[in-house]
Structure 1
């Protein structure tokens, strides 16, 4: 400290920044030193130091340098900048949640020694989201579904249970089982339990799932083996009884 001024090296040590960073802030006009020594070295006064700490505070929030400069100069509304940045962070969090869920699924495959071919096939499966699905689920919901999938992946019998249940419901429809009977109610309870494992009681996820199924029932039945409208009507009546 020389009088009321910091040299660039002294300010770097005091703030934990590098001299290169302070030079860059000067270069882009973010924190410019108020003075120079006779030999041309930068000198920062108290107002420069105060501005530097304002920059660091906003940088800690993750704002880019150009937005920080605009906010400090008053050419941009700070509240609007923070709101926009918060929305950006929210999107990053959603992406990270999805990535973590995918990694969990991949680790389970590695632990199960799926082999390179099976592992690569799994990567394609879990990272590719059908465009139809994107129309019905938000990014946040897709992240929740990925997380739920990674958890359900640990329960190897979930898919088998669906494959077993749908034909049993179809037989009940074909043989004229009364949906209100004990057999019908038991099938409905099993069906709703499996759906609960999928949406976890989240009404938004549940409603998005139902809308997607209603709008794409023929494709879902053709490509994934059901459920058919008749099966869904049977479950609806059985659940209501």
Structure 2
């Protein structure tokens, strides 16, 4: 049984133009032609068209479908590559959504000027290059989403608590307080609780944070006022079991 291009288009819900394009790029070529040169598709062509549409439904590009059906690229490899591509897109969309939510929450009203809006965009989309070296795109997306869930008020509260805690730990260091004593242990618990508000118990985020701190301690202390190596040592001893 043969189908003319118009008949096949009507039966499948595709457009004649789409079938012409598939023929042009070599994906689904008709097995025959009429005497006047019109395309004729047989059962094997219809089966091939189904395979193309099934892979297309997964979002695969036409060149990838062609390689898979030709056997030059394994279908499993092709699907894995496309899955990884989708994963990257999902991460980007998660991050963008979190940033947009933050922006909407912080815009004070319709009187916001263009200058204010541009400053807001810079604030929520710029990530320090140092941070990018230690956290994956997925981790950065998770952090952006957590910031959105917590809200700006909670973030500011955590920042104030750090500003209060670091000087108190420094006072304990200077006073020669025993880190394993009750006062030292309490400072250690407070410190670890604030860290957990950042990593949320995620060991990957926690390890990335510790690695960034260890390898950039001087810059962090200079730009953000701490913590110093002495303070970190005090907390390490205070939290040892």
* TM-score normalized with structure 1 length: 0.89
The whole-number CA distance in structure 2 between the counterparts of 1:14 and 1:194 is 63
Partner of 2:96: 99
Which of 134, 140, 143 is matched with 1:142 structurally?
Answer: 140
Task: Indicate conservation of the 8 Å contact 1:94/1:140, yes or no.
Answer: yes
Task: Indicate conservation of the 8 Å contact 1:109/1:119, yes or no.
Answer: no
- In the TM superposition, structure 1's runs of 4+ consecutive aligned residues that sit over 6 Å from their partners are none
Q: Report the aligned-residue RMSD.
A: 2.1
Q: Which runs of 5+ in 1 are unaligned?
A: none
The residue correspondences of 1:133-212 to structure 2 (distance < 5 A) are 133-154=131-152, 155=154, 156-212=156-212
1:25 correspondence with 2:22: yes
Displacement of 1:199:
0.6
Q: Which runs of 5+ in 2 are unaligned?
A: none
Output one character per residue of 1:169-218: Cα deviation in whole Å (capped at 9) or x when no partner: 22222223322232222222121111111111111110111011011001
Output one character per residue of 1:41-68: Cα deviation in whole Å (capped at 9) or x when no partner: 3222111111011001111122110111
Which of 9, 12, 16 is matched with 1:12 structurally?
Answer: 9
Displacement of 1:159:
1.7
The whole-number CA distance in structure 2 between the counterparts of 1:79 and 1:69 is 14
For these two proteins, the number of residue pairs brought into alignment is 238
Output one character per residue of 1:117-174: Cα deviation in whole Å (capped at 9) or x when no partner: 4443232133222222222222222222222232333424122222222222222222
* TM-score normalized with structure 2 length: 0.89
Partner of 1:53: 50
Partner of 2:129: 131
